[in-house]
Amino acid sequence: MSDTPYRGRFAPTPSGPLHFGSLLAALASFLDARQQGGTWMLRMEDLDQPRVQPGAADSILRTLEHYNLYWDGDIRWQSQHLPHYQGILQGLLDCGLAFVCDCSRSQLSTTNGIYDGHCRDRKLGNTADRAVRLRVDNAETGFTDRLQGPFSQHLEADVGDFVIRRRDGIIAYQLAVVADDIQQQINQVVRGADLLDSTPRQLWLYQKLDARPPHYLHIPLAMRSDGNKLSKRLGSPPLSDKGAAQTLFLALQVLQQAPPAEAQGTPVSELLEWAVRHWNPHRLPACTQLPADILPTHLA
């Protein structure tokens, strides 16, 4: 760990209530920050307004509070920072690091979703119905994850020039998350392993914006019996206000933090205090997925 004060965050999308997989990510991020005496911030990734579910943000906040996962400072709402993202986007266009693209999904399907550079040199006008992509090269872009170890991609071959503003005008996740983490001075990111392969793209953006990237720890995903990860989209059950201490105890077990049997049934506040004192990220399994049978049916 660096001597720089720890600054972490949890960044849910308000497209539905938190489920058990969300709790694992929030809990790991919270414990990692609190054990280091660090700052833990909360960000609502609400740029994709068609996905935002009315009442979901309030539900997320209530759930975090119910589990004593209290954040520091004000909540950052991405939807309130559109001019900031647009300024970064325009700067990348102005210096030739990004370009406008009108390729359709059907065109991309012929290249297995890997962008082939079709619009790189077409110099299309920046109209609202066109995407903006960031140029990449085929140098290896990688990092060493605190849990998963070395991970890299050759972006041109593996991804291609990637979208930073979608064709519907919405700022893409890759740009927004980097812009937010830079502005909030986030230097430690703990999140699910489903975002592992997004990280080289984000590192590329950090490089182009001349900013220092955070350190990363990608925790394994809890899986459903059908082989999919727990998700709002697939209807994974929301966390209940009832039995929070039992659910928190189970989450610590899934994260392999070995909570003592006598801690089962203790209040959430006491269990969380124990977890902060004993948090050990080296206990986490160095894999991207946890076996489906690790969860009780009612949580999967």
* Numbered residues of the known binding site for L-glutamate: 9-13, 45, 173, 191
Counting beta carbons within 10 angstroms of the beta carbon of residue 92, is it exposed (0 to 12), middle (13 to 18) or buried (19 or more)? buried
CA 101 to each of CA 91, 154, 252, 300: distance values in angstroms, whole numbers, following the listed order = 17, 21, 45, 40
For residue 279, what are its two tokens? 């948090």
In sequence order, which ranges of 69-219 are alpha helices (DSSP H)?
Answer: 82-94, 105-109, 155-158, 173-183, 199-208
Distance CA 244, CA 263 (A): 13
Total length of the chain: 300
Residues 6+ apart with CB under 8 A from 265: 245, 246, 249
**Binding-site annotation: residue ranges:** 9-13, 45, 101, 103, 115, 119, 173, 191, 232
Q: Which residues are annotated as a binding site for Zn(2+)?
A: 101, 103, 115, 119
Binding-site residue ranges for ATP: 232
What is the C-alpha separation between 53 and 156, in angstroms, rounded? 35
| Those residues with Cβ within 8 angstroms of residue 184's Cβ, 6 or more apart along the chain or in another chain | 7, 9, 41, 43, 76
- Residue with tokens 């502005």, as numbered in its chain: 183
Distance CA 32, CA 188 (A): 9
**Residue appearing with tokens 């991804």:** 159
Buried b (16+ CB within 10 A) or exposed e, 133-155: bbbbeeeebebebbbbeebebeb
